[in-house]
Structure 1
């Protein structure tokens, strides 16, 4: 058997060289993979000792079933919300360029471009379909879920998060972002938001009530025109005083004009021959001119009668002129009387309007205490709501501070963040060569063994005696 194996040394050597060469070329062309890792420590939760309060000097630290808690935290790290936020923040669903250097990097870049071109062609002809945005995110989440390694450290409360990627910067970013998003998800699951939610609801309700009261107060002030009640009262009283003085003056003027009209009417009825009932009427310019003409004509009548008879033409002409002047005087007096009557009606209307305005002002003055009380109630309600809102805001801030400083929720802490790795973890050339040497040796020996086992030809003289039972008389040496 050994002789047969030694006879196949060429197969052993060539096969080993082929396998080792393939491994060497594959390791050279295979894209390097960098692994980044970060760690999270799960501390004990702090609880108050409710069973034996007399013995407890303070809160006690306790972990109920640490293995289950570690496994729960691992599932939170690998949960879809955490991975989805990591994919969206780092844009892992988008195509990216992997940094490559050297000849092997150029070859790998060319192969990637070729594969990308073929994928585009296949998608264009309908062999494969293009992902939508949501499908691309889902595929990226699945890839991240497969590549992300989350495992607990042995005999400790530490969880390791590991991720491999051809880009060392990206591998560190993924691991660190997973740890940060895990902390947010951990707080979102464990934090008690009941108190904050209650204060938020109450703040929204009080703010809505306060806004309604402020709008009602503004509408009431615009409707009543009241800015300050003392100033408003003084303004109303001053207006009342002015209106009362104006009404008094109007009433005096009404009395004067009414007395004049009554006297003119009485004199005209009692003495129809009286041309100008009142002496002050004669002061009117036009009436004074007519009176002068009338007196001149009277004087001319006396002169004409001294020279002519009453039946003379001159006397009759003057009498005709006197009659016309008398008619003009009476008509003008009637016009003045109508003017006084119109003025009297105007003064009476003004008096009525003033009385109406005074009545409205007095009603407004009477309503001021009621409006003041209503506005005072609104302002008091607004002050109360503002005080309640201030208290609620303070309570809400205190609850937020209490949440941020709640030690029971600080049991999950990032122990160490990942830095961009300097050396790839795969491929390792020397390890691949050793494994390839072992693998090629096993394969070549196995193949040589099976070839030798299935080879039924006679190779040495002893085989003739062993298998055929014949003696060998001569042998031809190998040339």
Structure 2
């Protein structure tokens, strides 16, 4: 049973929530339209952002430090006790990306194109809206060209003291003069003349600003001279580089900005600098090796000639000596080790152009040279143990063979490096250069407009829900009856003042009201409200009309001397009413007005003032009601709110049925209880309630049958 009740309550809550939103559809539509207007304004003011891209292929022809040694070195790996296989490998793509985004590359681009000077016009939001996309900047190597509407000028130099870097300065033109004002302090920091060549900056004055123009200038601009670090960060915010796909060796570069021509120029210049530095690095490596070979070749040639002379002299003295197999093996190993040692020294000189002596690669190759030296010393020791004649013969023969092979190898390397240096191209290739974009990437109009609809609708729904939550008053007739103990006879729609149909439930209340009055042998009914209700006059009017339609004579008295509007609802032009009667300025016949509806008469409130009230004229009210009770079948008194004044309590002393209006979600339960206590303390009671301004989807018609 409890589960079913819980499910029913949840269903009612969801239904109420849905219809609460539907009743506030105008608010939701307004918020949605407002969000659309804001989005459209943003799209008009916001600058369009474009993106250009380029692609670079990293060619894997750069070998690791020792990969260029000849194949014999690999065969000696086991002999020398070293591993040469793990020293090679292509330079990683991530390394090239970091180089591309390094300060050494970007700083040169900034200096070449004066990208550290940022300038924009100082204008209001309206001016931005009207003059969007009319401000242009052209960054060049020797100047910055600025165009705005009909104004055009060039900045050739803009050197300022370090303390003003990264600060906004207001550049103001007036004819042929200009001045700079610090936006931070509001003080003027520099004043100059257009078309006057700037003086070089000195220790005494760090200002060197040169601005030229072919016409008188006017207007204000915001200029900022950025520090190198700030300018680099600004470029990095818009520059993105990543490997196109894994293991492809291709880097994709994207650069974003609001000026299509500018971003193409900047990205092209960055690529040029990157390519130049890459080629310079490759050339530096070969230059270092050639320098080493230039020193080694003359020395090797001299050593070769000396070894040949000694060997020839020994042969003339001793003739040819038979070399045993063991001696021949020692000779072969000695020649090969000496040759590979020199090649390692050659690579050591090449790596010195890239790494410091503390670099692991340099330490590794030094260790390998040490291993070869140790092995050579061991072979030399073994050769000394041979017979003296054979030992000397092998020594001379070995010297000749080693020097000949070393000289030949180094001479070939020298010639190859000279040829490679002449045709050096670097290890990268630019596949795609940036091209002019056709569409902006930001702002995305469709997405922003769609999001604005959702955001505006969400905000409207949120406000509607909050408004509904803030209405903490009574919402259910059962809640009132269980808590206060007063019956609710009708529920009226919140649009009752615009449509008679919304007041039809009052007709079902007529039999109950007639029965109650007959039961009490009284024909006077009080209509009031707990707190001020904007529909009270309309409800009183229609209740009187429905009673008159039963063929009975009805008198409606507007006893709300402060806010009564019944005379206006009945289009009565009579200025005399209840106020004049209470002051003795008119008699009963003068204040009663026949309406256009048969059987219905009206006493309007008249010309009220703060000095008059029902409570202060209780005797006159008693006389009035006594006179009209005999003339009319039903008398309705429309009174002021119970909690606002004591007039309703005064009138309730002369009535047979007291009816109060309660506003849906506005009137609090404690207010109803307080009003009831007022009546009970006066020996009276509230006989019934009408729940007013109920949402149309919750309006129900109730009819209490006489018991």
User: TM-score when scaled to structure 1?
Assistant: 0.47
Q: Which has the higher strand share?
A: 2
Structure possessing the higher radius of gyration over alpha carbons: 1
User: TM-score when scaled to structure 2?
Assistant: 0.33
Q: Of the two structures, which has the highest relative contact order with CA contacts closer than 8 Å and spacing of 6 or more?
A: 1
Q: Which has the higher helix share?
A: 1
